[in-house]
Structure 1
């Protein structure tokens, strides 16, 4: 009797669970017989497996899962290929894809946000392909580093302007706008919420809209916290203008920089007299950082044995991120905790990130980045 009662209660409990409102994802994946298809949640804490199915001959599949309380993000994964989509409530999203080009050649129906997310994903993929092409050209000596830097900056500027206008500011209350904020290039966020004032405004627009519609949602609270931190980091402090005496410049040839590296050791630019130095102001969390450092690494590996050194000044707001990234770099890495309001960067009249200067063996400022047509050629001259 007790066993029968237990079975009955278990069945009732399962029935109660099944009665929860669900969203559905269904469709077909052609030419994928025997392949495993996974449904995963792209949650704040990371990727969470939800369900899976082994595809049969016709490639049809159907998933059902509890609806989210606020817009959430999910993905279909086939091997290492991923399709991102969003769910607002109990809708049915239909996604049809071929096995080949699974993450690119798919169609999505039943979710306007998911259609926009597809557009954004394809745009990001195109941007990454173009950046990879630029990197291959500079590595193959088919493009000058200075042309590479300019081309990379232009690509990123055009991409961000397009996404800002057509996806973020056009509909900041949508899941697609939120998705746009966290797109990456070379594993770096394209929109920087901690170091770039214009990008912080994008995050703020979406945070405000989400907070109005879903004030108790975890994503709303998280985004709000990011914006507060970004506004704090990019708010110009009240400080007096730092004037550098001419005597300091004339005696040393450069404006002295004395900042601590990851080990806490003070590293002075003037101590590098006798070497040719690439002085680089950068933000590691920017989308161009990885490609920029790849270019520097090519030069460093080629000419370090001949007396080239790199003195790289990070203006990152996030100290931990700086330490994690800089730990893999072979040159001198220091950080100015004043970030984008660094008095040192101001003294060097740094206008953009990254910004390069060349210092000769006598510790004299030789040339600044915007005047350099061929960085490698200029380095070779000084060596």
Structure 2
């Protein structure tokens, strides 16, 4: 009898454990609460994804205003919004959170309380700051149109200083830091990004900080890759702008190789044209990009395999942070130089992805450009 009871208890515990595990496997997020004064209004749950806004669910509210939405868990924080007409509440969802919202319509965008997530309290702070900034911009445009552009520029700079100091740089891995990167204001019916790496080099560093952090916490996800892509494009745009502002005279020898007079990590000026007689792998690289470590390991294998037969690597860094670059190349055996002049544009202007590789033969002729290199190992062997 005692043994049977023990067996039943054991089987019961196992069954309960299996049910709990199955429940956890299906577990997702839940957003619920009440929207007062919104009887007969349609409340939408929308996903703010990389490809735009998509409707997930909706409910017609009754007099109580009670609602409940749910969804599956993601690999990284995702962004949703509750919307009635033009009133929006932004919500960040990290995995299996249970979020409670209490709001009053028709001012629910500003008059709401959110519980269950410290990150969403920060998202609310940022949303309210953005609304206030938009209001001040509109006032300037209406009252001081002749000075509006310059004054708005100052306001945006102050806003960015506040957000980077008190939110993004304090915790770049947080969902609210990602949210802050994509805030905007509407000026003359045009949406203007507050952080825009294509227009401000400092913004590239802000995106880079979040990208690096997300690569640690959420590696391989689409949002993380998107951050890296924006950062890399911003860095490329900055190099082009610098090159246009400060023209550099590049010399090409009679066989067409364009020299790159740049300093290495020891401060010595190096020249691409110094390696006549060797096969040169000319590589433009960003050490801060995703996958850099694996790529460098692959290059080490090629260098160890072919250096004794005449292969040299001339690696040009396009990283934003020169100190970071010096740390990364300290133990690399090939030539490492840093482009802080924009001279690499001669080789990188038409490229759309990194790294960018050219092969130069022993006569100092560029014989393969990035689009022509299918198998790097085989192409090197042909030239040696």
TM-score, reference length from structure 1 = 0.55
Q: Which residue of 1 aligns with 2:306?
A: none
Alignment map for 1:351-370 (pairs within 5 Å):
none
Give a deviation string over 1:240-278, Cα, whole Å, max 9, x none.
Answer: 469xxxxxxxxxxxxxxxxxxxxxxxxxxxxxxxxxxxx
Q: Which residue of 220, 223, 243 corresponds with 2:224?
A: 220
Q: By how many angstroms is 1:149 displaced? A: 3.5
**Residue in structure 1 matched with residue 75 of structure 2 by the alignment:** 69
Q: Which residue of 113, 117, 129 corresponds with 2:119? A: 113
Measured in 2, the distance between the counterparts of 1:135 and 1:80 equals 22
Gaps of 5+ in 2: 1-21, 250-341, 343-384
Structure number with greater Rg is: 2
Structure 2 CA distance for aligned equivalents of residues 47 and 17 of structure 1: 29
What is the Cα deviation at residue 194 of structure 1? 1.6
Distance in 1 (CA, whole Å) between partners of 2:101 and 2:183 is: 21
The reply to whether residue 197 of structure 1 matches residue 201 of structure 2 is yes
What is aligned with 1:151? 151
| Selected match of 2:235 from 207, 231, 234 | 231
The secondary structure found in structure 2 opposite 1:228 is helix
Q: Which residue of structure 2 lines up, in the alignment, with residue 5 of structure 1?
A: none
Would the aligned equivalents of 2:78 and 2:92 in 1 still touch at CA under 8 Å?
A: yes
Count residues in correspondence. 222
Of 205, 210, 213 in structure 2, the residue corresponding to residue 206 of structure 1 is: 210
Contact 2:31 2:101 in 1 (8 A): yes
- The residue correspondences of 1:126-275 to structure 2 (distance < 5 A) are 126-139=132-145, 145=146, 147-186=147-186, 187-235=191-239, 236-237=242-243, 240=247
> What are the superposed Cα offsets for residues 264-296 of structure 1, whole Å, 9 maximum, x if unpaired?
xxxxxxxxxxxxxxxxxxxxxxxxxxxxxxxxx
For 1:92 and 1:217, the matched residues in 2 are separated by 23
Cα 1:211/1:82, change in 2 over 3 Å: same
Aligned mate of 2:56, from 32, 47, 50: 50
* Residues in 2 aligned to 1:241 and 1:110: alpha-carbon distance in whole angstroms: 56
Give SS of 1:237's match. Answer: helix
1:60, 1:77 → 2: CA distance?
A: 14
* Larger relative contact order, structure 1 or 2 (CA cutoff 8 Å, min sep 6): 1
> Deviation of residue 195 (structure 1)?
2.4
Structure 1 residues 150-159 or 101-110, which shifts more?
A: 150-159
Cα distance between partner residues in 2 of 1:131 and 1:166: 22
Which ranges of structure 1 fall in alignment gaps of 5 or more residues?
1-15, 140-144, 243-340, 342-383
Per-residue deviation, residues 187-217 of structure 1 (Å, max 9, x unmatched): 1111112221111000000000001111111
Secondary structure of 1:89's counterpart equals: coil
Q: Deviations over 1:324-373 (max 9, x none)?
A: xxxxxxxxxxxxxxxxx9xxxxxxxxxxxxxxxxxxxxxxxxxxxxxxxx
1:306-317 alignment, distance < 5 Å: none
> In the TM superposition, what is the alpha-carbon distance from 1:111 to its structure 2 partner?
1.2
The separation in 1 between residues aligned to 2:158 and 2:82, in whole angstroms, is 30
Q: Alpha-carbon deviation of 1:67?
A: 1.3
2:33 to 6, 23, 27: 27
3-state SS, counterpart of residue 63 of structure 2: coil
Matches within 5 A, 1:296-315: none
Match of 2:128 in 1: 122
Secondary structure, in 3 states, of the residue corresponding to 2:204? helix
CA distance in 1, matches of 2:210, 2:43: 32
CA distance in 2, matches of 1:31, 1:197: 46
Closer/same/farther in 2, CA of residues 19 and 55 from structure 1, 3 Å limit? farther
Distance 2:114 2:65 in 1: 16
Q: Partners in 1 of 2:25 and 2:46 — Cα distance?
A: 21
* CA distance in structure 1 between the aligned counterparts of 2:131 and 2:137, rounded to whole angstroms: 10
Rounded Cα–Cα distance in structure 1 between residues aligned with 2:248 and 2:182: 35
Three-state SS of the structure 2 residue aligned to 1:121 is helix
